Structure 1
Amino acid sequence: MRRLLVTGGAGFIGSNFVHYVLGHTDHHVIVLDKLTYAGNLESLKGLPSQRFRFVMGDITDTSLVDELVGSVDAVVHYAAESHNDNSLQDPRPFLDTNIIGTYTLIEAARRHGKRFHHISTDEVYGDLELDDPERFTESTPYNPSSPYSSTKAGSDLLVRAWVRSFGLEATISNCSNNYGPYQHVEKFIPRQITNVIDGVRPKLYGKGENVRDWIHADDHSSAVLTILDKGSTGETYLIGADGEKDNKSVVELILKAMGQPVDAYDHVIDRPGHDLRYAIDSTKLRTELGWEPQYRDFEAGLEATVQWYRENESWWRPQKAQTEAKYKEQGQ
């Protein structure tokens, strides 16, 4: 049994991790979350109260972070500003949370001698050409292209520096695009699903040729647990499930799963600096730590995700109108 502090545990990937941990281990979990628009207490409903506690607070709050880090065995750091469109509109929150917040946490972990795992993204590597046979590896140079990905790259480098300079017992994982329950409707897959539920045609950036490497949130969670248990201090592990799909194909699979014509979508103006392709090589994680994904069939995982949004309208409905109004202002 371990006591874990999970930052950002009311967000999409963080809440899935909390559910996974409490369902698959005897660990105790404290969630620290600021409850910005992306955090939702409804995502943490039904968890065993004897092993779970929620604390509302900011990861830049030094005294609160110090108290919580001192009370646990390990920190799993999910909290981040993570939406590219938002980072283009207002970069400052990304600096505060992703850089200053990470600094605050690793300083507390250093003071208390705690195990630290840092959740990052494949977007720190920039993008690949659509016809490039290569995939990202742990040795791929960083080449971020947005305020979001650049601040995540900066937070990764902080963790690496604290390992080398101060002996912080830390690992890093860079994961591909997640999908699954509890994802905010501003994101690509849930936005399309909820639009179709509302009788609105999905929106596709540009020609829809941009490729993402998709992984179910449960597979991400199991990989993080594996790294927490078996990973070596100072090492980075890439998490991916060989799920490369272009955005056009994803929209068409969503429409198919929802019984709609596969061409029933509209093109909108492309995002500035839109990365072409992400692709993860997770060989190191699989060979050194023995991890394997369970959701190998993207279409089946997507169908299960569609069903979750159909059955949990009360969870996503409060977010929907404001999200679509914001996109409308942006012409998207």
Structure 2
Amino acid sequence: MAAVVRLDRVRHTFPGVVALDDVELTAPPGRLTALLGPSGCGKTTLLRVVAGHLRPAAGRVLIDGRDATALPPERRDIGMVFQSYALFPHLTVAGNVAFGLRMRRLPRETVRRRVGEALDLVGLADQASRRPHELSGGQRQRVALARAVTIRPAVLLLDEPLSSLDARLAVQMRGELRRVQRETGLTAILVTHDQEEALELADEIAILDRGRVVQHGAPQEVFRAPATRWVAGFLGYENVLDLPGKGPVAVRPEHLGVLRPGDEAPGDAHVVEGTVADVRFRGTGYTITFRTAEGRTLVAVSPDDGLAPGAPARLYVPLSRAVGLDGRPT
């Protein structure tokens, strides 16, 4: 049965470093919560505290209402998928998936049935007799996922599970991971540094900075209304400028428009004049670095390269795309 996970004022330190600073966080039952943030922000430490690999210096970890703070990992009813797969090379695919069940001394028939169900779930029923070295990276990660879910844990913890895969395979595996989580109904907590991965997979996102949860909510809510200037910058709102009557606002590069000579800006837009500083090809278009008359640098994305460095240009800011920052902390 899916469980709720709650961290109650959790604090953890390493020598000279506060890794988690009074963290309050709830991961709702049956939903996937992503922990997102830059390297060193505390997200992996938080996951290890939930797993029981680290005991916090202060605060509590509650799983389904039970205080699990002092419980060892094996008594927390948790399944875990690692970045490195952590498969046993001498065991077959079926043997790896069965490992946790055999450690629990379940009947042989129960083990056989659950392994079969888990391999069907991840699409590897025909690979049961193979060894890990005979599989692709994506297949090995699916074996690791099957092993974690076959014990039917209350909570599934995912530690950067797709970061070792190439970009195309990682995108494919996102769909597999989301499908498995939804079909099993497991409560899941995912650690990732990849914003696109978090936005695509998560029901909820918690953004961490310097050991604190600085924003927590639905992906659309977090992305469209960053709570602080730091969160706005982290989520790609690279451009900060002052608009008359609105104060400081943040705008993503793809939301800035480029005006050609003679073009009219949309009625709800603010126009900025300046000079093109740089133009770079990015596959689907061009990144244009623009310097305003006041010396501010802005970055826009354009589908063509009709502008050259040194040329005068105009950008427009759709007011509906501008996120107000007035009074928000950094």
User: Please, what TM-score do these two structures have when normalized by structure 1?
Assistant: 0.28
- Name the larger-Rg structure: 2
User: Please, what TM-score do these two structures have when normalized by structure 2?
Assistant: 0.28
